[in-house]
Chain A
């Protein structure tokens, strides 16, 4: 199991990076004017300086910045993400509540983009420079060039307001309390538009990469060998070209997991989904440092996890990796 130890080593190597990111975000937020207490006072409709001082002392905000940072990191080592003063709950609870919509959205968009990108890429490469290729490539360019919030808004206008087929926003229907299968369907309906909106840009990237990589692999010698064996074109593509062409796509998943988290901020805002992206935005506005750092921590963990899985998948797909490792 050399590959496991290799992937494990990469996992260990990402821990210092994680701490650097957290320290960076912490310091960056210190430059922003105002703190949690200011935001809370504003919500309460103002208050005197003494209360503010009391609150700052209570939340440990009166300490020097290195002390605050040290405290935070020390708690983090014990896996304690701290307490959110804005939500009045431990940060871990806040994040856990908001995690499912984001994870669902990301997985759905990624699968959608990967599957259709692969399919369209293969179709485009099989008919290179003929009309299917031109059509698919043009569509891909349109998807890539259009901002996702515009797509989201237009999708709401067309499918929710004009056609009234799909809900315009939210994670599930709050009015009707549903359980079991009905609830699953309800959530799925709510997620269709956000998934398409977030997935289309990535679809465009995947299809371009898949097309290029298919064209490259189709020119390799072993494809000629396969044809010389008497295989028909479908078998040549499925048995010999596809897996080789998939390698760059898999690399891309790892690289884009982070980008996708960023993209979900916009999409969650447009579709008012109670996800991690919106939570991040809100905590910046409310100077909720603990929550924000918690989100950064969890997002980084997600990206690291995805990359770990990609490493394993890559090794499974390409036997040469283990030899070079």
Chain B
């Protein structure tokens, strides 16, 4: 453990017990670490590593059955682990402040931003109403919110995700806390917004000398912002040290494995692409209209604006873009979950945009989709095997044969075939995404549309699923439309990449060319925003 001078927070042998029936007895096993004033410490780990539990344990905000059962948390000479509730309330907000992952749900939807920031002063200080108002405006200016006066009056839903997170940061810094705990504060944000928020945190940290405990799963973010790194696995600290040492010379095998799993930004050498085009999109458009009464005051959103793309047989076409760029709408149009307004979607000579509902139902076996959320996209009341076999059964395969095929598919996607009798909740996130993939493959599609299929997964699991997609593509001759917001993932798996912004494709071409030599200003901005860009670029492509 590297020596920390003048620590502001010292965690000493902290253990947190989980309720009976959890997958392990302790969320944290004797964790020790320290943060000194004026430094940013990143805590890295995958889901279930106990990093968020640690943050909540410091604040004593653990849910009912989860409790600290050993160790000390020393903050300004006081042991928070044994402090009374009244003492804790004085520390929360004023001494240690916290920002959370999801800026939409972390703010009360029914109260204005200014009101919620002002509450900090109301409970911890004796300031008058007008003083509080002035302070709130000052804070909002500090976090560079456009039009602070308007923002203070706004409700959370009236601000964008990035602005909400700025408001959260303003609230956390209201009372100049000595320590700021940031629990995955940029994970839910777009890459360009993330870059801005990271810059803001760094700027405020150096201006106010606040210590920051930054929890993340993303090594790119670590490379961008951290002074020191603490790596956690299964509730233990496996490695900690200065950011340069850990990133370039990781000692613990788990750290090495995590860093190896981070997809680098450079694309692997291009594969030979077939001349045979399996899927052609020609001027596909989709416009949403909502609101309005008898044609008045209609809000028109051009979700997809005349997109034309070609997918060669056996190739992978990546569609990348930020939220609201129309990439998911395009995916849904391709498999006709929604009807495009215009254009042609030609698959094997048939124009999907013009098929009737009935025909689409019959033809869906040629094109299948894998969805983003492995938790929500599987029916929790049906067995995994049934979910996979359902498609073929609907399309006329006898039940026994479909179940046998399901077993075969389970083996193909790396699951135990005997697991077909289990329910979705008995699988982990990565396993569920494999079930989703098996379900899509059950109909033997020619084209697979994967909508953010690996975005909800931990890096190591993400790497496994990507590897499996690679293998399946070779073995089954699949053509894939791969939709993602993560440029690093796209660089790994896609032969061709199309960059979307506001419903339009602004740039498309071979992955290596788009990432190596971006032409459009937006692509350049996207690439520049990737956290820890130099770190990602310096690494060799994973050979899969």
Contact = CB atoms under 8 A, between A and B. Distances in A.
A227 B61 contact: yes
Contact of A320 (B94, B120, B157): B157
Nearest to A243: B110
A29 interface: no
A222 B98 CA distance: 12
B123 A228 contact: no
A224 B91 contact: no
Interface string B103-114: 001111111000
The residue in A9, A229, A318 that gathers the most chain B C-beta atoms within 10 A of its C-beta is A229
A221 B291 contact: no
B219 interface: no
B107 to A, nearest CB: 6
B365 interface: no
B165 to A, nearest CB: 12
Nearest to A228: B98
B496 interface: no
B102 A221 contact: yes
Nearest to A128: B64
Contact of A224 (B89, B100, B120, B168): B100
Interface string B76-113: 00000000000001111110011010100111111100
A250 to B, nearest CB: 12
B97 A228 contact: yes
A139 to B, nearest CB: 25
A325 B157 CA distance: 14
A318 B155 CA distance: 10
Contacts of B102: 221
Nearest to B168: A225
Nearest to B110: A243
Contact of A221 (B105, B155, B171): B105
A185 interface: no
A232 B89 contact: yes
A228 B92 contact: yes
* Chain A residues touching B, range: 20 to 34
B119 interface: yes
Interface in B486-516: none
Contacts of A229: 92-93, 97, 119-120, 123, 171
A318 B109 CA distance: 8
Interface in A294-325: 317-320, 323, 325
B454 interface: no
B158 interface: yes
Given A244-B110, A319-B155, A222 B291 contact: no
Given A230-B91, A232-B89, A320-B157, A225 B123 contact: no
A9 B105 contact: no
A1 interface: no
A133 to B, nearest CB: 14
Nearest to A6: B293
B108 A222 contact: yes
A231 interface: yes
Interface in B301-358: none
B124 interface: yes
A224 B61 contact: yes
Contacts of B171: 229
Contacts of B105: 220-222
A222 B111 CA distance: 11
Nearest to A239: B119
29 contacts: A220-B105, A221-B102, A221-B105, A222-B105, A224-B61, A224-B106, A225-B98, A225-B100, A225-B108, A226-B108, A228-B61, A228-B97, A228-B98, A229-B93, A229-B97, A229-B123, A229-B171, A230-B89, A230-B90, A230-B91, A230-B93, A230-B94, A230-B123, A240-B108, A240-B111, A243-B110, A244-B110, A318-B109, A319-B109
Given A222-B107, A230-B91, A319-B155, 15 more contacts: A220-B105, A222-B105, A225-B106, A225-B168, A226-B108, A228-B61, A229-B92, A229-B123, A230-B124, A231-B119, A239-B111, A244-B109, A244-B110, A318-B109, A320-B109
Interface of A: 9, 220-222, 224-232, 235, 239-240, 243-244, 317-320, 323, 325
Interface of B: 59, 61, 89-94, 97-98, 100, 102, 105-111, 119-120, 123-124, 155, 157-158, 168, 171, 291, 293
